[in-house]
Each structure stands twice: as structure tokens, then as C-alpha cells.
Amino acid sequence: MSLFITFEGGEGSGKSSVLKLLDERLRQEGYQTVLTREPGGTPIAEQIRNVILDKANTKMDARTEALLYAASRRQHLVEKVWPALKEGKLVLCDRYLDSSLAYQGGARGLGIDNVLNVNMFATEGTFPDLTLLFDIEPEMGLARIAASASREVNRLDLEKLDFHHGVRKTFLSLAKRYPDRFVIIDASQPIEKVLEDAYQTVKKRLEK
């Protein structure tokens, strides 16, 4: 059964680590998964990612940023997500269009509907079947990043605390706007518990 599941959240929510463990668990159970991420996931999309996240690009305009994310997303859909879904795979994607709505639409102030319009063009209306929102207070998430040597700091991490509060607020409003596909996971819990909640949520959807 093909299913498109996305994993969203602010910085330091632990979603990428949980996602790897979740992927392993689902594979062990025999599911054919494709684990991927945005921005990136294919060579062209990774090149776009490098431009977006480069700390030297301090002059990047907000609309340019939104368009680059959308361009990277499109390429990733065409080369990776759509083919995998066609083959009946379970696609697990670290961030997708809701990140653009939260970061560029909400926190950067471009407007959710403006950014949605650009993304409707880019994705031809491909929405996830399920979206797990790893919700955490920005103070706690950023403290986790600061404490972790393995996580490189990128251009978006360097934004002020207000920006990260804006991201969280917008994600939570998106969960209200799309209640059929959003599930909120409390990411302030210990990682084992976050993984268990994520696993149960995905299993429930798979068995639907």
C-alpha cells in the first residue's frame, strides 16, 4: 500500500533521529519504505539545499527562499516521491510543504496562503496522507541543538527566538486547519517515548 507520510517540527525536535529508528522498525516488519528528506533527497534538490542553507547567504530574500524550497520540493517529487508511491512504497519524508507554510508563510511573514499557492504549482496538489508534527518549545529544541555536536547549525537555526516561536505557532495552526492528516506528537518526552508515539500513529494509519 503506497502512503506518503511527512514529519514536521521545529529545530531540535528530534524528528530526524526518531525517523531513522522508525524506518528501521517498519523495514524489520516487512514494509517497503523510502526514507528521504527536504530540502534535498536527489542530487539537483541537494544542490538547491546547499544554496538555501549556506550561512554565507545572508542577503537571501524571503520570496527567493520560498521559491527555492518549492523548486527543491518539485524536483524531489518528480525524481523520488512520485515514482516510489507508484511502486506502492511507504514514503517517509523529513519535512515537506508544511515546513514552507510554517517557516516562510508564518515566521517570515509571507503569508500562509501565498506560500501555499506557490506550492500548489510546485506539487500539483500532492498533499501527504499523514503528517506527524513533533511539537516542542523552541527554547528546549534550540538547547538540544546547542548540546549536540553531530547536528550542524544552518542559516535557519541562526534566526532569533521569536522566529522559532512563529514557526511553532504556525505549525499548530496548520494542525487545526488540516485535522484529517495532522497528528501532534509531544517531542519534549524522552526519545523512546517519542518513537513509540510516532510508531503507534503510523501503524494506526497503515492498518486503516
Per CB under 6 A, residues contacting ligand TYD are: 11, 16, 38-39, 53, 69, 94-95, 99-100, 103-104, 154, 156
State in angstroms the smallest separation of the CB of 92 from ligand TYD. Answer: 13
Write the DSSP symbol of residue 93: E
- Residues 11/138, Cβ–Cβ less than 8 Å: yes
Nearer to ligand TYD, 39 or 128 (CB): 39
Nearer to ligand TYD, 49 or 89 (CB): 49
State in angstroms the smallest separation of the CB of 61 from ligand TYD. Answer: 14
- Residues 206/198, Cβ–Cβ less than 8 Å: no
**Cα–Cα distance between 73 and 45 in angstroms, integer?**
7
State in angstroms the smallest separation of the CB of 199 from ligand TYD. Answer: 20
Task: Count CB-CB contacts under 10 A for residue 133.
Answer: 24
State in angstroms the smallest separation of the CB of 119 from ligand TYD. Answer: 8
- Residues 45/75, Cβ–Cβ less than 8 Å: yes
Nearer to ligand TYD, 67 or 206 (CB): 67
Nearer to ligand TYD, 38 or 197 (CB): 38
Nearer to ligand TYD, 11 or 197 (CB): 11
In our burial notation (b when 16+ CB lie closer than 10 A, e otherwise), range 149-181 reads eeeeeeebbebeeebbebbbebbeebbeeeeeb
State in angstroms the smallest separation of the CB of 32 from ligand TYD. Answer: 24
